[in-house]
Amino acid sequence: MADNKALATELEAREVAEHAREQVWEQHSFALSLFEGRFELDLIHPYPGPQPEEQERAADFLAKLATYCLEHIDGDQIDRDGHVPQEVLDGLAELGAFGIKTPREYGGLGLSQLSYNRALAIVASRCGSTGAFLSAHQSIGAPGPLLKFGTDEQKRRYLPRLAKGALSAFALTEPDVGSDPANMSTTAVLSEDGSHWILNGEKLWTTNGPRAEIIVVMVRTPAPEGSPRKPITALIVETEWEGVETVHECSFLGLRGLSNGVLRFTNVKVPLENLLWEEGKGLKLALITLNTGRLALPAFCAAAGKGSLEMCRDWAGSRVQWGRAVGKHDAIAQMLGKMAADTFAMEAVVELTSGMADAKTFDIRLEAAISKLWATETGWDIVNDALQIRGGRGYETHASLLARGDTPYPIERYLRDMRINTIFEGSSEIMRLFIAREAVDSHLSVAGDLIDPRAPLGRRIKALFRAGFFYAWWYPSRWLTWGRWPLYREFGPLATHLRFARRASARLARSIFHAMVRFGPGLERKQAVLGRIVEIGSEIFVMVATCTRARVLVRDRPTDRSPYTLANLFCLQARERIEDRFRRLFRNNDAATYDVAQEAMKGTFSWVEEGMIDEDWVPPTAGPVGGSDSGEVELTSVNEGEPEPASTG
């Protein structure tokens, strides 16, 4: 049972989140254009490509990394032991894998986001836990925030050390802080002489935390004079300092080699110069860092998709039942075909978003969130289907298969390791809300005061006139979008899908407007409706990524048109999903389902639960280590309610 603590109100929590978000779109966003019905394909086509010199350096590193992983990383042994050996991490550090994106002037490799994601995929193909160490360290751990927001002195002091192998972590999550940072209780106050901060509190699900040397810790600092809000601030903390301790190491369903635990800070003295960025900008720092930090998870998912496809392709072609290879049976063929198309789409998303991040000319907050949401949910479907295709052998562990002489494909481990991805670094539910909020930003800037119950009458009247003028041209323009032949002829057989995407983008923009008119201020509570809006936009984005990727591959190898085959199948299936979401946008059973859920929480249907032995599920203790039940795990914990990522919690 959750504790009945004095937690932040809904309004307070929303204000904290809104205060932390980036308020202005200073650069282009292709995904935002999709939600607004503008479909600016020229932003990403031609496809953003890597720099030849960087790719040459990256190729040498990736080749050495692949050799090292093959010879020294045994994912199944790490899974059984529940521990990544220190010598494995040391070897990765010697290769430069702890500073892949860190500039060479600070001892790193100075490689791109694209090369970084490819490196993570190589490591994760051998062991998800080891990949998580590198991701938690670099995606949201100390190097990322330092590069973006650190002072020159902080960079000189910490980046070389981090690149050499000093493990880092990020600590945000607490027992009452998952997706909602408004309830944060960890504090830092200035000492009486003003020479340092005094840090006190406890952090939950901090990935890398028990083995980290350097941690970015999110804390509440005293409220400025005249402000009721205690701001959230980021501090750089070294674990060797007095008062820092690991009070519990967590264990999980998957990623069993992960180092993740509950950290306690008791009167820790933090030097003033270890303030990261500015007081009160800690949560904004976390959210901005996650824009690129989230791109690691799609890379992991694409690697799992590739591995699943290879294992299932072999099995489907060699396993004979009822006189035919199982892959010849339509039920299995449908799963295998979708797996191939989805895996290609995932890699296309990774390549596109990595290129956008490297270009540094895009605001990728939406692209990163969509990639994380779509890839983690699709990746889970892929490994789940892979287990189904393998049947009993998919459910059997690697060790058991090996012991009895069967092909020891590690699908069971894949499944357990993949399950966390829809939870950490922003759960799927939080991602849908985050994406929805950003997608309607232009509408709120025009008509936000109309639906804000706190806005005074004068502001509402001004907003009414402003909205009238704006929508008088905006709405008709979303009906006049041309999305027919001969647009996009250079994409050959995929042109029809891009034309559909263009039309669907305009329809999506109109549907968002219809939802705002229909539900008004209540739209923010219609999370199922918002979820469908986000899913439509996400599918359109992935369709475009897949088509542009296929076009590049066929351009480079004209005799091989197989990328068109995969992209075509993906788009056909994505179009079905898009049409389904449009059909159910306003005609659905959401209200009935919500009502049943509320009655279930009241105990109305407790009779359904009869027949269970559950008396010892909640032992009679004062409370769990790490505080109360918060319902989330964090592997990267930055913002959205889960284990902190292969980042922290």
Burial group, residue 419, by CB count within 10 angstroms (0-12, 13-18, 19+)? middle
What is d(CA 569, CA 537) in angstroms, rounded to the nearest whole number? 19
pLDDT at 593 over 60: yes
Q: What was the pLDDT predicted at 18?
A: 82
pLDDT at 431 over 70: yes
More confident residue, 577 or 635: 577
- pLDDT grade, residue 1 (50/70/90)? very low
Q: What was the pLDDT predicted at 158?
A: 98
- Catalytic residue set: 425
Q: Report pLDDT digits (tens) over 128-169.
A: 999 999 999 998 899 999 999 999 999 999 999 999 999 999
Regarding beta strands 260-271 and 275-276, do their DSSP bridges make them parallel or antiparallel, or are they unpaired? unpaired
pLDDT at 356 over 90: yes
Task: Determine the Cα angle at 496 with ends 442 and 570, to 5°.
Answer: 85
Q: Report pLDDT digits (tens) over 221-273.
A: 999 887 778 899 999 999 999 999 999 999 999 999 999 999 999 999 999 99
Q: What was the pLDDT predicted at 633?
A: 36
Q: What was the pLDDT predicted at 457?
A: 87
Q: Angle, nearest 10°, between helix axes 128-135 and 86-95? A: 60
In 3D, which of 83, 144, 179 has the Cα closest to residue 633? 179
pLDDT at 647 over 80: no
Q: Which domains does the chain have, with CATH numbers?
A: 52-164 (1.10.540.10), 168-288+640-644 (2.40.110.10), 290-437 (1.20.140.10), 439-592 (1.20.140)
Question: Are the C-beta atoms of 73 and 80 separated by less than 8 Å?
Answer: no
- Could you give the dihedral angle defined by the CA atoms of residues 398, 401, 407 and 412, in that order, rounded to the nearest 10 degrees? -40
Query: What percentage of the chain exceeds 90 in pLDDT?
Result: 81
Q: What was the pLDDT predicted at 280?
A: 94
- What average pLDDT is seen over the chain? 92
Q: What was the pLDDT predicted at 5?
A: 63
pLDDT at 323 over 90: yes
DSSP code at position 177? B
pLDDT at 559 over 70: yes
- pLDDT grade, residue 49 (50/70/90)? confident
Question: Are the C-beta atoms of 466 and 460 separated by less than 8 Å?
Answer: no
What is d(CA 199, CA 218) in angstroms, rounded to the nearest whole number? 10
The model's pTM is 0.93
pLDDT at 643 over 60: no
pLDDT at 84 over 50: yes
Q: What was the pLDDT predicted at 17?
A: 81
